């Protein structure tokens, strides 16, 4: 068995959503392949400390902010690596490359460089996943009101919509879901149907969101481009990761109107539950889009909400 090598990797991002890749030099393993900057965690270092040191040594940059994101394992021919990915949205100093053959700013949905290191495939897909999820509640506020709010949000920057309508009749739910899918397809947004795999297939949704009880009974991932699951415990999060879901949803971080009286997790417990998880996790429960950076600092990929997303439909949601 190969010794596990811990590596810190940086997803260095700019406000336009682009991220920095480096091309491996000719005298390294996988020469010419593209990778996220970073390097080995040395004895006595935390992954964050290693990340800060490596980016200074490789790129001459001083990290101001590094948010924990995903931890992935991959077995190469020459090494078994445990990759600790951080998002780095803020730094100072001019970037000067010292180890790569080239650097390139890329967008996950329009890559212009190849090939990527084999361990990076799931990372690129995770970077395509929007950071804000709007969850519908037409059964509470009315179908026409919800569709009007959806139109406004899609005219802004919302690009991930979770159709969750337990209070609508089956006929109304399907008609509503079809209207949501049509609007989202026109806007280039991802649509997910809560729980009903057959409905998602019939209406051409991009994927499904699995309630916790459904998630725990499955042995394989449903065949959609995007699949996520609702989680409340570390065991459920680990099950979602074993099924290689595209994301998990964890909450409630704060008290909510939908579950009055339920104890809230808080950010500290949220961070503990998602620590070293291999898939993106959305924070849920009493949150607003302007708390996105707070969520990221706790290890979240983004924020999901039932009410505040529609109230803030005019704000930026990238």
- Long-range Cβ pairs for the range 76-79 (8 Å, 24+): 76/29, 76/118, 76/119, 78/29, 79/2, 79/5
Q: Is the pLDDT of residue 159 over 70?
A: yes
Distance CA 12, CA 90 (A): 8
pLDDT of 85-118, one tens digit each? 999 999 999 999 999 999 999 999 999 999 999 9
pLDDT of 136-152, one tens digit each? 999 999 999 999 999 99
Last residue of one domain, picked from the residues 68, 87, 121: 121
Q: What is the mean pLDDT of the chain?
A: 95
What average pLDDT does the segment 161-179 reach? 98
Shared domain check, 286 and 170 = yes
Q: Is the pLDDT of residue 212 over 90?
A: yes
Shared domain check, 63 and 27 = yes
Last residue of one domain, picked from the residues 80, 101, 121: 121
Q: Are 254 and 285 in contact (CB under 8 A)?
A: yes
**pLDDT score of 311:** 83
Q: Residue 64: which CATH number?
A: 3.90.79.10
Shared domain check, 149 and 48 = no
Position 312 confidence tier, pLDDT thresholds 50, 70, 90 = low
- Quick check: is 318 in a domain? no
Shared domain check, 234 and 295 = yes
Last residue of one domain, picked from the residues 74, 98, 121: 121
Peptide bond before residue 252 is cis, with ω within 30 degrees of 0: yes
Number of domains in the chain: 2
Structural domain of 32: 4-121
pLDDT of 31-78, one tens digit each? 999 999 999 999 999 999 999 999 999 999 999 999 999 999 999 888
Shared domain check, 198 and 68 = no
pLDDT of 264-274, one tens digit each? 999 999 999 99
């Amino acid at each position: 068995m190969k010794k596990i090598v811990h590596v810190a990797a940086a997803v260095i991002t700019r406000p336009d959503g682009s991220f920095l890749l480096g091309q491996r030099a000719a005298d390294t393993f996988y020469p010419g392949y593209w990778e996220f900057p970073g390097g080995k965690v040395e004895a006595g270092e935390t992954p964050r400390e290693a990340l800060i040191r490596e980016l200074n040594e490789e790129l001459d940059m001083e990290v101001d902010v590094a948010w924990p994101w995903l931890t992935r394992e991959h077995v190469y021919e020459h090494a078994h690596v445990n990759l600790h990915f951080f998002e780095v949205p803020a730094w100072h100093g001019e970037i000067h490359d010292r180890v790569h053959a080239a650097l390139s700013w890329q967008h996950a949905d329009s890559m212009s460089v190849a090939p990527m290191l084999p361990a990076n495939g799931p990372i690129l897909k995770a970077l395509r996943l929007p950071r804000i999820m709007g969850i519908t509640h037409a059964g509470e506020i009315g179908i026409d009101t919800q569709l009007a709010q959806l139109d406004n949000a899609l005219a802004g920057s919302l690009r991930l919509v979770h159709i969750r309508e337990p209070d609508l009749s089956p006929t109304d739910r399907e008609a509503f879901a079809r209207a949501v899918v049509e609007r989202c397809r026109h806007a280039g947004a991802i649509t997910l149907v809560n729980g009903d795999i057959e409905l998602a297939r019939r209406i051409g949704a991009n994927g499904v969101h699995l309630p916790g009880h459904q998630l725990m009974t499955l042995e394989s991932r449903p065949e959609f481009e995007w699949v996520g699951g609702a989680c409340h415990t570390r065991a459920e999060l680990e099950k979602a990761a074993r099924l290689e879901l595209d994301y998990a949803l964890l909450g409630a971080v704060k008290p909510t109107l939908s579950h009055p009286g339920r104890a809230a997790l808080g950010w500290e417990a949220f961070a503990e539950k998602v620590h070293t998880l291999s898939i993106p996790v959305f924070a849920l429960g009493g949150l607003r889009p302007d708390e996105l950076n707070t969520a990221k600092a706790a290890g979240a990929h983004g924020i999901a909400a039932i009410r505040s997303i529609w109230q803030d439909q005019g704000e930026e949601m990238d």
